[in-house]
A = this chain, B = another copy of it.
Amino acid sequence: MTQVTRPTWVEGAAGSLFDIDNLPYGVFTHDDEPPRVGVRIGDQVVDLAPVAASEMLEIAHVFEEPSLNPLLALGRPAWSAIRTWLTALLTDETERDLVGPSLVPLAEVAMRMPFEVADYVDFYCSLDHASNVGRIFRPDDEPLKPNWRHLPAGYHGRAGTVVVSGTGVRRPSGQSKAPGAAGPGYGPSSRLDMEAELGFVVGAPSELGSRVGVDAFADHVFGVTLLNDWSARDIQAWEYVPLGPFLGKSFATSVAGWVTPLDALAAAHVDLPGQDPEPLDYLRVGPGAGFDIDLEVVLNGETVSRPPYASMYWSPAQMLAHLTVNGASLRTGDLFGSGTISGPAPEQRGSLLELSWGGTEPFTVAGQERTFLQDGDTVTLRATAPGTGGGRIGLGEVTGTVLPG
Protein backbone atom coordinates (compact mmCIF):
# COMPACT_ATOMS: atom_id res chain seq x y z
CA MET A 1 0.00 0.00 0.00
CA THR A 2 3.07 2.27 0.10
CA GLN A 3 2.51 5.17 -2.27
CA VAL A 4 5.29 7.02 -3.96
CA THR A 5 4.85 10.64 -3.00
CA ARG A 6 7.52 13.29 -3.10
CA PRO A 7 8.61 14.52 0.32
CA THR A 8 6.99 17.65 1.67
CA TRP A 9 8.90 20.91 1.73
CA VAL A 10 7.34 21.84 5.08
CA GLU A 11 10.17 21.85 7.61
CA GLY A 12 10.04 19.20 10.29
CA ALA A 13 7.09 17.32 8.80
CA ALA A 14 8.89 14.55 6.91
CA GLY A 15 9.17 11.44 9.07
CA SER A 16 6.83 12.84 11.73
CA LEU A 17 3.42 11.44 12.62
CA PHE A 18 1.92 14.28 10.59
CA ASP A 19 3.79 13.78 7.36
CA ILE A 20 2.39 14.31 3.85
CA ASP A 21 0.45 11.00 3.99
CA ASN A 22 -1.68 12.17 6.93
CA LEU A 23 -3.20 15.67 6.42
CA PRO A 24 -6.03 15.73 8.97
CA TYR A 25 -8.60 18.54 8.91
CA GLY A 26 -9.69 20.78 11.74
CA VAL A 27 -11.15 24.18 12.56
CA PHE A 28 -8.76 26.65 14.13
CA THR A 29 -8.59 30.21 15.33
CA HIS A 30 -5.46 32.35 15.20
CA ASP A 31 -5.19 35.70 16.94
CA ASP A 32 -8.65 37.24 16.83
CA GLU A 33 -9.51 36.00 13.36
CA PRO A 34 -12.73 34.07 12.77
CA PRO A 35 -12.50 30.27 12.94
CA ARG A 36 -11.85 28.49 9.64
CA VAL A 37 -10.65 25.21 8.19
CA GLY A 38 -7.04 24.09 8.38
CA VAL A 39 -4.98 21.04 7.58
CA ARG A 40 -2.19 19.89 9.82
CA ILE A 41 1.25 19.06 8.48
CA GLY A 42 4.08 18.52 10.96
CA ASP A 43 3.65 21.18 13.59
CA GLN A 44 2.05 23.64 11.20
CA VAL A 45 -1.51 24.37 10.20
CA VAL A 46 -2.21 25.24 6.58
CA ASP A 47 -4.74 28.07 6.56
CA LEU A 48 -6.68 26.74 3.57
CA ALA A 49 -9.01 29.64 2.83
CA PRO A 50 -6.43 32.11 1.44
CA VAL A 51 -4.56 29.38 -0.42
CA ALA A 52 -7.71 28.04 -2.08
CA ALA A 53 -8.89 31.56 -2.87
CA SER A 54 -5.63 32.53 -4.54
CA GLU A 55 -5.82 29.34 -6.60
CA MET A 56 -9.44 30.27 -7.42
CA LEU A 57 -10.75 26.88 -6.35
CA GLU A 58 -14.48 26.61 -6.96
CA ILE A 59 -14.99 25.12 -3.49
CA ALA A 60 -12.71 27.64 -1.72
CA HIS A 61 -15.65 28.90 0.35
CA VAL A 62 -15.87 25.66 2.35
CA PHE A 63 -12.55 26.54 4.00
CA GLU A 64 -13.85 29.89 5.27
CA GLU A 65 -16.47 28.20 7.45
CA PRO A 66 -16.35 27.68 11.23
CA SER A 67 -17.04 23.95 10.79
CA LEU A 68 -16.03 21.15 8.45
CA ASN A 69 -19.65 20.43 7.54
CA PRO A 70 -19.67 22.21 4.16
CA LEU A 71 -16.48 20.33 3.24
CA LEU A 72 -17.98 17.08 4.52
CA ALA A 73 -21.11 17.62 2.42
CA LEU A 74 -19.08 17.74 -0.83
CA GLY A 75 -18.69 13.95 -0.96
CA ARG A 76 -15.97 11.49 -1.81
CA PRO A 77 -14.91 12.68 -5.30
CA ALA A 78 -14.36 16.22 -4.01
CA TRP A 79 -12.56 14.96 -0.88
CA SER A 80 -10.16 13.01 -3.09
CA ALA A 81 -9.61 15.90 -5.47
CA ILE A 82 -8.83 18.26 -2.59
CA ARG A 83 -6.38 15.76 -1.10
CA THR A 84 -4.60 15.42 -4.44
CA TRP A 85 -4.41 19.21 -4.78
CA LEU A 86 -3.10 19.58 -1.23
CA THR A 87 -0.51 16.86 -1.68
CA ALA A 88 0.80 18.60 -4.80
CA LEU A 89 0.91 21.99 -3.05
CA LEU A 90 2.83 20.65 -0.07
CA THR A 91 5.34 18.59 -2.05
CA ASP A 92 6.08 20.91 -4.95
CA GLU A 93 8.88 23.28 -3.92
CA THR A 94 7.61 25.88 -6.37
CA GLU A 95 4.41 26.24 -4.31
CA ARG A 96 6.34 27.28 -1.21
CA ASP A 97 5.96 30.96 -1.98
CA LEU A 98 2.22 30.57 -2.34
CA VAL A 99 1.58 28.38 0.68
CA GLY A 100 4.35 29.44 3.04
CA PRO A 101 2.63 32.65 4.22
CA SER A 102 -0.45 30.60 5.11
CA LEU A 103 1.39 28.21 7.41
CA VAL A 104 0.58 28.93 11.05
CA PRO A 105 2.51 27.22 13.86
CA LEU A 106 0.29 24.78 15.71
CA ALA A 107 1.41 26.34 18.99
CA GLU A 108 -0.24 29.63 17.98
CA VAL A 109 -3.71 28.31 17.16
CA ALA A 110 -6.67 27.16 19.22
CA MET A 111 -8.67 24.25 17.87
CA ARG A 112 -12.47 24.47 17.77
CA MET A 113 -15.06 21.73 17.58
CA PRO A 114 -14.26 20.51 14.06
CA PHE A 115 -17.80 19.72 12.92
CA GLU A 116 -21.40 20.27 13.93
CA VAL A 117 -22.65 16.92 15.15
CA ALA A 118 -25.97 15.96 13.56
CA ASP A 119 -26.85 12.64 15.24
CA TYR A 120 -24.43 10.82 17.52
CA VAL A 121 -24.63 7.05 17.83
CA ASP A 122 -22.38 4.98 20.03
CA PHE A 123 -21.78 1.31 19.26
CA TYR A 124 -20.46 -1.50 21.41
CA CYS A 125 -18.17 -3.36 19.03
CA SER A 126 -15.39 -4.79 21.19
CA LEU A 127 -15.95 -8.40 22.20
CA ASP A 128 -13.49 -8.01 25.04
CA HIS A 129 -15.10 -4.81 26.33
CA ALA A 130 -18.66 -6.15 26.10
CA SER A 131 -17.60 -9.36 27.84
CA ASN A 132 -15.77 -7.49 30.60
CA VAL A 133 -18.68 -5.12 31.22
CA GLY A 134 -21.13 -8.01 31.26
CA ARG A 135 -19.02 -9.82 33.86
CA ILE A 136 -18.68 -6.68 36.00
CA PHE A 137 -22.32 -5.42 35.80
CA ARG A 138 -24.08 -8.81 35.68
CA PRO A 139 -21.75 -11.30 37.39
CA ASP A 140 -24.44 -13.99 37.66
CA ASP A 141 -25.43 -13.86 34.00
CA GLU A 142 -23.92 -14.73 30.61
CA PRO A 143 -21.51 -11.86 29.87
CA LEU A 144 -22.79 -11.35 26.30
CA LYS A 145 -26.46 -10.83 25.50
CA PRO A 146 -27.90 -13.25 22.88
CA ASN A 147 -27.98 -10.54 20.19
CA TRP A 148 -24.37 -9.38 20.58
CA ARG A 149 -22.74 -11.65 17.99
CA HIS A 150 -25.56 -11.04 15.50
CA LEU A 151 -25.54 -7.26 15.27
CA PRO A 152 -23.37 -4.30 16.23
CA ALA A 153 -25.35 -3.08 19.24
CA GLY A 154 -25.69 0.69 19.48
CA TYR A 155 -27.72 3.56 20.90
CA HIS A 156 -28.13 7.26 20.29
CA GLY A 157 -26.13 9.64 22.46
CA ARG A 158 -26.43 13.39 22.99
CA ALA A 159 -25.08 15.33 20.01
CA GLY A 160 -25.28 18.67 21.81
CA THR A 161 -22.70 17.74 24.43
CA VAL A 162 -19.95 16.54 22.11
CA VAL A 163 -17.03 18.84 22.89
CA VAL A 164 -13.59 19.38 21.42
CA SER A 165 -10.35 18.18 22.99
CA GLY A 166 -9.21 20.47 25.76
CA THR A 167 -12.69 21.23 27.07
CA GLY A 168 -12.94 20.67 30.81
CA VAL A 169 -15.38 17.98 31.85
CA ARG A 170 -17.50 18.81 34.87
CA ARG A 171 -18.17 15.81 37.13
CA PRO A 172 -21.87 15.05 36.67
CA SER A 173 -24.39 14.72 39.45
CA GLY A 174 -27.38 12.48 39.39
CA GLN A 175 -29.22 9.55 40.87
CA SER A 176 -27.50 6.35 41.81
CA LYS A 177 -28.22 3.55 44.20
CA ALA A 178 -25.52 2.15 46.45
CA PRO A 179 -25.48 -1.66 46.72
CA GLY A 180 -27.81 -2.63 49.54
CA ALA A 181 -29.33 0.87 49.93
CA ALA A 182 -33.10 1.06 50.26
CA GLY A 183 -33.45 3.71 47.56
CA PRO A 184 -31.43 5.98 45.32
CA GLY A 185 -29.50 9.02 46.45
CA TYR A 186 -28.42 12.16 44.66
CA GLY A 187 -24.93 13.56 44.33
CA PRO A 188 -21.80 13.89 42.23
CA SER A 189 -20.79 10.69 40.48
CA SER A 190 -18.23 8.73 42.47
CA ARG A 191 -17.43 6.38 39.59
CA LEU A 192 -16.50 8.73 36.78
CA ASP A 193 -14.82 6.92 33.92
CA MET A 194 -13.50 7.37 30.38
CA GLU A 195 -13.81 5.18 27.30
CA ALA A 196 -11.24 5.03 24.51
CA GLU A 197 -13.03 4.98 21.16
CA LEU A 198 -12.80 5.92 17.54
CA GLY A 199 -15.48 8.20 16.12
CA PHE A 200 -16.47 8.01 12.44
CA VAL A 201 -17.62 11.23 10.81
CA VAL A 202 -20.28 11.09 8.10
CA GLY A 203 -19.98 13.49 5.20
CA ALA A 204 -22.39 12.51 2.44
CA PRO A 205 -26.02 12.19 3.52
CA SER A 206 -28.47 9.45 2.53
CA GLU A 207 -32.20 9.50 1.85
CA LEU A 208 -34.81 8.53 4.42
CA GLY A 209 -36.03 5.05 3.54
CA SER A 210 -32.79 4.01 1.82
CA ARG A 211 -29.94 1.84 3.12
CA VAL A 212 -26.20 2.30 3.04
CA GLY A 213 -24.64 -1.08 2.34
CA VAL A 214 -21.28 -2.19 3.72
CA ASP A 215 -19.69 -1.42 0.33
CA ALA A 216 -20.81 2.22 0.40
CA PHE A 217 -18.94 3.02 3.62
CA ALA A 218 -16.26 5.17 1.98
CA ASP A 219 -18.85 7.07 -0.07
CA HIS A 220 -20.43 8.39 3.11
CA VAL A 221 -17.75 8.44 5.79
CA PHE A 222 -15.19 11.22 5.55
CA GLY A 223 -12.86 10.26 8.33
CA VAL A 224 -12.02 9.28 11.85
CA THR A 225 -11.42 11.04 15.15
CA LEU A 226 -10.38 9.90 18.59
CA LEU A 227 -13.30 9.97 20.99
CA ASN A 228 -13.55 9.81 24.77
CA ASP A 229 -16.98 8.65 25.88
CA TRP A 230 -16.94 9.93 29.47
CA SER A 231 -19.16 7.71 31.62
CA ALA A 232 -20.58 7.97 35.13
CA ARG A 233 -20.78 4.30 36.05
CA ASP A 234 -22.90 4.74 39.20
CA ILE A 235 -25.52 6.82 37.37
CA GLN A 236 -25.42 4.41 34.42
CA ALA A 237 -25.83 1.27 36.54
CA TRP A 238 -29.00 2.62 38.16
CA GLU A 239 -30.65 4.10 35.08
CA TYR A 240 -29.78 1.80 32.17
CA VAL A 241 -32.56 -0.80 32.47
CA PRO A 242 -34.56 -0.96 30.22
CA LEU A 243 -33.87 2.05 27.98
CA GLY A 244 -30.07 1.99 27.92
CA PRO A 245 -27.41 4.56 28.84
CA PHE A 246 -28.70 8.14 29.19
CA LEU A 247 -27.49 10.57 31.88
CA GLY A 248 -24.52 8.34 32.65
CA LYS A 249 -23.15 9.45 29.28
CA SER A 250 -24.92 12.60 28.11
CA PHE A 251 -22.93 15.15 30.15
CA ALA A 252 -19.93 15.10 27.77
CA THR A 253 -18.26 13.26 24.91
CA SER A 254 -14.88 14.57 23.78
CA VAL A 255 -13.50 14.39 20.26
CA ALA A 256 -10.11 15.39 18.88
CA GLY A 257 -9.65 18.71 17.14
CA TRP A 258 -8.48 16.84 14.01
CA VAL A 259 -10.41 14.50 11.72
CA THR A 260 -8.18 12.04 9.87
CA PRO A 261 -9.48 11.37 6.34
CA LEU A 262 -10.16 7.74 5.44
CA ASP A 263 -7.65 8.17 2.58
CA ALA A 264 -4.90 8.58 5.16
CA LEU A 265 -5.79 5.15 6.58
CA ALA A 266 -5.56 3.31 3.25
CA ALA A 267 -2.57 1.30 4.49
CA ALA A 268 -4.18 0.52 7.86
CA HIS A 269 -6.83 -1.94 6.65
CA VAL A 270 -6.66 -5.35 8.28
CA ASP A 271 -8.98 -8.33 8.38
CA LEU A 272 -11.42 -8.59 11.24
CA PRO A 273 -10.39 -11.10 13.92
CA GLY A 274 -13.25 -13.34 12.76
CA GLN A 275 -17.03 -13.43 13.25
CA ASP A 276 -18.82 -16.50 14.55
CA PRO A 277 -21.61 -17.06 13.66
CA GLU A 278 -21.37 -15.53 10.21
CA PRO A 279 -23.53 -12.39 10.22
CA LEU A 280 -26.66 -11.91 8.12
CA ASP A 281 -26.12 -10.90 4.48
CA TYR A 282 -26.42 -7.17 4.99
CA LEU A 283 -23.57 -7.28 7.52
CA ARG A 284 -21.12 -9.44 5.53
CA VAL A 285 -17.79 -7.85 4.76
CA GLY A 286 -14.73 -9.06 2.90
CA PRO A 287 -11.04 -8.91 3.82
CA GLY A 288 -9.58 -5.68 5.15
CA ALA A 289 -12.73 -4.42 6.87
CA GLY A 290 -10.88 -3.64 10.09
CA PHE A 291 -8.35 -0.94 10.90
CA ASP A 292 -4.95 -1.46 12.48
CA ILE A 293 -4.92 1.56 14.76
CA ASP A 294 -3.04 1.47 18.05
CA LEU A 295 -4.46 3.59 20.84
CA GLU A 296 -2.90 4.78 24.04
CA VAL A 297 -4.75 5.87 27.17
CA VAL A 298 -2.75 8.40 29.18
CA LEU A 299 -3.84 9.36 32.70
CA ASN A 300 -2.03 12.34 34.17
CA GLY A 301 0.86 11.80 31.80
CA GLU A 302 1.27 8.09 32.42
CA THR A 303 0.23 5.48 29.87
CA VAL A 304 -2.24 3.13 31.54
CA SER A 305 -3.46 1.12 28.56
CA ARG A 306 -2.78 0.37 24.88
CA PRO A 307 -6.06 -0.69 23.23
CA PRO A 308 -5.66 -2.19 19.74
CA TYR A 309 -8.45 -1.18 17.35
CA ALA A 310 -7.54 -4.21 15.20
CA SER A 311 -9.09 -6.44 17.87
CA MET A 312 -12.62 -5.05 17.31
CA TYR A 313 -15.28 -7.62 16.46
CA TRP A 314 -17.55 -5.39 14.33
CA SER A 315 -16.15 -3.15 11.58
CA PRO A 316 -17.20 0.46 10.94
CA ALA A 317 -18.77 -0.50 7.59
CA GLN A 318 -20.96 -2.96 9.49
CA MET A 319 -21.94 -0.29 12.02
CA LEU A 320 -23.03 2.03 9.22
CA ALA A 321 -24.94 -0.69 7.36
CA HIS A 322 -26.72 -1.64 10.57
CA LEU A 323 -27.48 1.97 11.48
CA THR A 324 -29.26 2.48 8.16
CA VAL A 325 -30.78 -0.97 7.53
CA ASN A 326 -34.15 0.25 8.79
CA GLY A 327 -34.14 3.16 6.36
CA ALA A 328 -32.81 5.74 8.83
CA SER A 329 -31.20 8.56 6.88
CA LEU A 330 -27.72 9.99 7.35
CA ARG A 331 -26.95 13.68 7.63
CA THR A 332 -23.69 15.52 7.13
CA GLY A 333 -22.07 15.65 10.56
CA ASP A 334 -23.44 12.36 11.85
CA LEU A 335 -20.94 10.82 14.24
CA PHE A 336 -20.78 7.21 15.26
CA GLY A 337 -18.47 5.80 17.89
CA SER A 338 -16.97 2.33 17.93
CA GLY A 339 -17.66 1.75 21.59
CA THR A 340 -14.83 1.22 24.03
CA ILE A 341 -11.83 -0.41 22.45
CA SER A 342 -10.47 -3.17 24.66
CA GLY A 343 -8.08 -5.86 23.58
CA PRO A 344 -7.88 -9.32 25.15
CA ALA A 345 -4.98 -8.48 27.51
CA PRO A 346 -5.56 -6.61 30.79
CA GLU A 347 -3.18 -3.82 29.72
CA GLN A 348 -5.29 -3.30 26.58
CA ARG A 349 -8.52 -2.35 28.33
CA GLY A 350 -10.03 0.93 27.21
CA SER A 351 -11.90 2.01 30.34
CA LEU A 352 -11.08 2.41 34.01
CA LEU A 353 -14.11 0.25 34.81
CA GLU A 354 -12.23 -2.63 33.21
CA LEU A 355 -8.72 -1.60 34.27
CA SER A 356 -9.88 -1.55 37.92
CA TRP A 357 -12.37 -4.41 37.41
CA GLY A 358 -15.35 -2.45 38.61
CA GLY A 359 -13.27 -0.61 41.19
CA THR A 360 -12.25 -3.79 43.01
CA GLU A 361 -8.68 -4.01 41.65
CA PRO A 362 -6.96 -0.63 41.93
CA PHE A 363 -4.06 0.06 39.59
CA THR A 364 -1.09 2.33 40.16
CA VAL A 365 -0.58 5.70 38.48
CA ALA A 366 2.37 7.88 39.55
CA GLY A 367 2.74 5.77 42.68
CA GLN A 368 -0.91 6.18 43.71
CA GLU A 369 -3.59 3.50 43.83
CA ARG A 370 -6.39 4.47 41.45
CA THR A 371 -9.78 3.18 40.37
CA PHE A 372 -12.11 5.84 38.89
CA LEU A 373 -11.35 9.45 37.94
CA GLN A 374 -10.59 12.11 40.55
CA ASP A 375 -11.15 15.85 40.15
CA GLY A 376 -8.18 17.34 38.34
CA ASP A 377 -7.31 14.14 36.50
CA THR A 378 -6.39 14.60 32.85
CA VAL A 379 -7.18 11.85 30.36
CA THR A 380 -5.52 11.90 26.96
CA LEU A 381 -6.07 9.48 24.11
CA ARG A 382 -3.50 9.11 21.36
CA ALA A 383 -3.28 6.79 18.39
CA THR A 384 -1.09 5.86 15.46
CA ALA A 385 -1.61 3.74 12.36
CA PRO A 386 0.41 2.62 9.35
CA GLY A 387 0.59 5.45 6.82
CA THR A 388 0.64 5.11 3.05
CA GLY A 389 4.20 6.43 3.04
CA GLY A 390 5.58 3.37 4.85
CA GLY A 391 5.87 5.01 8.27
CA ARG A 392 3.19 5.74 10.82
CA ILE A 393 0.64 8.51 11.02
CA GLY A 394 -0.84 10.03 14.16
CA LEU A 395 -4.46 10.75 14.94
CA GLY A 396 -5.04 14.07 16.66
CA GLU A 397 -5.12 13.54 20.40
CA VAL A 398 -8.18 14.09 22.56
CA THR A 399 -7.66 15.33 26.07
CA GLY A 400 -9.84 16.54 28.93
CA THR A 401 -9.48 17.41 32.58
CA VAL A 402 -12.08 16.54 35.21
CA LEU A 403 -13.56 19.61 36.94
CA PRO A 404 -15.24 19.29 40.36
CA GLY A 405 -19.03 18.69 40.31
Interface contact B334-A160, CB-CB below 8 Å? yes
Interface contact B161-A159, CB-CB below 8 Å? no
Contact with B along A101-137 (1 / 0, CB 8 A): 0000000000000000011010010000000000000
Interface contact A150-B235, CB-CB below 8 Å? no
By size class, the interface of chain A is 35 or more
A341 CB within 8 Å of chain B: no
Tell me the residues in window 76-112 of chain A with beta carbons closer than 8 Å to chain B beta carbons: none
Which stretch from A53-61, A167-175, A346-354, A366-374 is at the chain B interface? A167-175
| Chain B residues with CB below 8 A from A241, complex form | 145, 147, 242
Interface contact B151-A239, CB-CB below 8 Å? yes
Contact with B along A143-180 (1 / 0, CB 8 A): 00111001101111111110100000010111101000
A277 CB within 8 Å of chain B: yes
Which stretch from A44-52, A258-266, A325-333, A355-363 is at the chain B interface? A325-333
Q: In the complex, A175→B157 CA distance in Å?
A: 22
Q: In the complex, A326→B242 CA distance in Å?
A: 19
The chain B residue with its CB closest to the CB of A330 is B160
Contact with B along A239-278 (1 / 0, CB 8 A): 1111111111011100000000000000000000000010
With most chain B CB atoms within 10 A of its CB, the pick from A157, A242, A243 is A242
The chain B residue with its CB closest to the CB of A151 is B175
With most chain B CB atoms within 10 A of its CB, the pick from A154, A232, A246 is A246
Interface contact A160-B331, CB-CB below 8 Å? yes
With most chain B CB atoms within 10 A of its CB, the pick from A146, A170, A175, A235 is A175
Copies in the complex: 2
A280 CB within 8 Å of chain B: yes
With most chain B CB atoms within 10 A of its CB, the pick from A155, A156, A158, A282 is A156
Interface contact A244-B243, CB-CB below 8 Å? yes
Interface contact B160-A118, CB-CB below 8 Å? yes
Cβ of A184 to closest chain B Cβ, rounded Å = 5
A286 CB within 8 Å of chain B: no
One of B235, B244, B252 near A244 (C-beta < 8 A)? B244
Tell me the residues in window 169-217 of chain A with beta carbons closer than 8 Å to chain B beta carbons: 170, 172-175, 177, 183-186, 208-209
Given A160-B118, A250-B328: A243 in contact with B175 (beta carbons within 8 A): no
| Chain B residues with CB below 8 A from A31, complex form | none
The chain B residue with its CB closest to the CB of A240 is B242
The chain B residue with its CB closest to the CB of A244 is B244
Interface contact B183-A277, CB-CB below 8 Å? yes
Contact with B along A378-397 (1 / 0, CB 8 A): 00000000000000000000
The chain B residue with its CB closest to the CB of A154 is B246
Interface contact B328-A147, CB-CB below 8 Å? no
Given A158-B119, A244-B244, A326-B247: A239 in contact with B147 (beta carbons within 8 A): yes
A322 CB within 8 Å of chain B: yes
Interface contact B175-A150, CB-CB below 8 Å? yes
Q: In the complex, A9→B248 CA distance in Å?
A: 53
Interface contact B153-A243, CB-CB below 8 Å? yes
Given contacts A154-B243, A154-B246, 8 further A-B contacts (CB under 8 A): A119-B159, A153-B242, A155-B155, A160-B334, A173-B325, A185-B280, A244-B244, A250-B326
A to B CB contacts below 8 Å, 16 in the list: A124-B243, A145-B241, A145-B242, A146-B177, A151-B239, A153-B239, A155-B155, A155-B243, A156-B158, A156-B246, A173-B325, A208-B252, A232-B326, A244-B245, A247-B323, A251-B327
